[in-house]
């Protein structure tokens, strides 16, 4: 096998390993989040049966919005100083449209949940999600700093 092929095969293998590890990490975080939410909300079996399909669909829609954000803004955010005012205006309009899409999704999510769990548990869910993000970030920082 020549050198170029070895480099190519190594690169392909590295991408595959990274994708697998990244997928495993994402799955692990999702599992931890489900357990965290379940524990904090103390859902009854009836509530859980109706709650999780709504929650999972909401998460899927938010991920689609995040993908749109990354796709739309990835290259342009790095070159903000070199874009024209018109390009900046278009970028800002796209950004605001995505923010409105997020708010509309959150409104729909809460509306659907109101038929499944109490308003108190919905508020608790919102706080629990923030608490989970904070805890995840703290653990990441702790590991990164060797703690």
Residue 135 in this model has a pLDDT that exceeds 70: yes
From residue 124, alpha-carbon distances to 42, 47, 61, 127 in Å are 10, 14, 21, 5
Mean pLDDT of the chain: 85
pLDDT of the residue at 77: 64
Contacts of 8-13 spanning 24+ positions with Cβ under 8 A: none
Q: What is the pLDDT of residues 65-100, one digit of tens each?
A: 999 988 887 766 667 777 888 988 988 899 999 999
Q: What is the pLDDT of residues 2-17, one digit of tens each?
A: 655 655 566 565 555 5
Residue listed under structure tokens 């995505």 = 98
pLDDT of the residue at 70: 86
Q: Which residue did the predictor score with more confidence, 6 or 28?
A: 28
Sort residue 8 into left (φ over 0), alpha (ψ -120 to 50) or beta: alpha
């Amino acid at each position: 096998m020549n050198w170029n092929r070895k480099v190519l095969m190594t690169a392909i293998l590295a991408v595959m390993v990274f994708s697998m590890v990244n997928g495993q990490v994402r799955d692990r975080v999702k599992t931890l989040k489900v357990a965290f939410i379940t524990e904090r909300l103390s859902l009854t079996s009836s509530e859980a049966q109706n709650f999780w399909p709504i929650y999972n669909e909401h998460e899927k829609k938010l991920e689609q919005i995040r993908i749109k954000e990354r796709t739309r803004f990835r290259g342009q955010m790095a070159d903000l100083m070199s874009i024209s005012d018109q390009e900046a205006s278009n970028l800002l309009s796209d950004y605001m449209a995505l923010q409105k899409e997020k708010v509309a999704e959150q409104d729909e999510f809460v509306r659907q949940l109101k038929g499944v769990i109490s308003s108190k548990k919905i508020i608790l869910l919102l706080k629990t999600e923030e608490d989970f993000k904070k805890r995840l970030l703290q653990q990441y920082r702790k590991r990164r700093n060797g703690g």
